[in-house]
Amino acid sequence: MGKFIGMRLLQLIPILIGITFLSFALMHSAEGDAVDVFYDRSGAVADEVKAIKRAELGLDKPFLTQYMNWVFGIATGNMGRSFISNKLVFETFADKLPATIELMVISMLFTICIATPLGILAAVRQNALTDNLIRFCSFIGNSLPNFLVALLLIYFFALKLNLLPIMGNAEDWKSIILPAVTLTISMGAKYTRQIRAIVLDELEKPYVIGARARGVSEGTILCKSVLKTVLITIITLLALSIGSLLGGTAIVESIFLWDGVGKMAVDAILMRDYPIIQAYVIWMAIIYVVINLSADLLYHYLDPRIRLNRKEE
């Protein structure tokens, strides 16, 4: 196990170098550097002044030197200042991250609570009316873009019925419901189908047939044996969908004015605030990679058979 973790951590190094290099190159290729953006906002300035400022910030150095300095900065939590607010980028990011994590965790909990029972129910009632109804709903959920869901929810629950607040992050706990439900609908639709497939697979296994033959009730089989396997799979599914969830929060946050990193990034792009965008891309990628790694390790821990499969690869 220790060796496995060590190897996975080693594999992380080139990935991290790649992520930082790509993000740096991307922002470097953007039109105008920090000095241009900074001075063009406060009116025209002579090129000499810009050159002095560039030398001060190290922007006249070769690309690779700049990249090294910048990576060193990230490692020490110094990612420069925002072009717009002049606040430290790292602090801004760290300020907004909890709101995004809160939204993601709540919508994941919603998803698990909805998709697990529905998936199991669909599998147990395979091809019956319930199954078809659930399949139809999950198909609809899968085909709805989240910005449409968000606007429809706002229209009905906030504007027409006046039940829930439109926009959030106030102390009001109700404000998280609409954004979380928006994210839940597309995720839940996917999970329901996948959980149904896993349960169907599991119900055909010899141990289930054996249990049935011994007279164990269907409910006990489901709760005691099948549910365990399903939960292991859900962990992988959740880890895999973190990526799309991170992207999805950007849209949902900016619709509901949820003050998280997704909204921060979208606002930064519209204002061409490159340091903020850079921080967003890098930290999202790092979070994504780390979560995937932990899910792998957890999966491995929960189901030791997976170790054998890995070695064969």
Residues binding another protein (CB under 8 A): 14-15, 18-19, 22-23, 26-27, 29-30, 126-127, 131, 135, 139-140, 142-148, 151-152, 154-155, 159, 193, 196-197, 242-244, 246-248, 250-251, 254-255, 265-266, 268-270, 272, 274, 277-278, 280-281, 284-285, 288-289
d(CA 141, CA 190): 8
Q: Which residues pair with 81 in a beta bridge?
A: 88
The nearer residue to another protein, 126 or 220, going by C-beta atoms, is 126
Residue number with CB closer to another protein (31 or 48): 31
Q: Cα dihedral sign for 139, 136, 254, 264?
A: negative
Tokens coding 112: 């698990």
Contact indicator for 28, 4 with CB cutoff of 8 Å: no
Identity of the residue, 22 or 302, whose beta carbon is nearer to another protein in the bound complex: 22
Task: Give me 197's structure tokens.
Answer: 């497939």
Our CB check for another protein shows the closer of 31 and 47 to be 31
Nearer to another protein among residue 45 and residue 125 (C-beta): 125
Residue 167: partners with Cβ closer than 8 Å, 6 or more residues away: 175, 256, 257, 258
Closest separation between CB of residue 30 and another protein, Å? 5
Q: How far apart are CB 111 and another protein at their closest, in Å?
A: 17
Q: Between 155 and 302, whose beta carbon lies closer to another protein?
A: 155
- Residue 16, both tokens: 């991290």
User: Cβ of residue 52: shortest distance to another protein, in angstroms?
Assistant: 26
Q: Closer to another protein by CB, 1 or 26: give it.
A: 26
CB of 9 to another protein, least distance (A): 14
**Nearest distance from C-beta of residue 127 to another protein, angstroms:** 5
The CB-of-150 to another protein minimum distance in angstroms stands at 10
CA separation (Å) from 27 to 14, 33, 272, 288?
A: 20, 9, 10, 20
Nearer to another protein (CB atom), residue 99 or residue 250: 250
CA-nearest of 167, 180, 146 to 257 is 167
Among 200, 217, 176, 193, residue whose Cα is nearest residue 118: 193
Q: How far is the CB of 143 from another protein (least distance, A)?
A: 4
| Angstrom distance (rounded) from CA 137 to CA 197 | 16
Give the burial class of 194: count Cβ atoms within 10 A of its Cβ; 0-12 exposed, 13-18 middle, 19 or more buried. Answer: middle
Give me the least distance between CB of 224 and another protein, in Å please.
Answer: 26
Q: Which candidate, 133, 151, 156, places its Cα nearest to that of 251?
A: 151
| Cα(193)–Cα(108) distance, integer angstroms | 16
Most distant CA pair in the chain, distance: 88
Q: Which is nearer to another protein, 211 or 286 (CB)?
A: 286
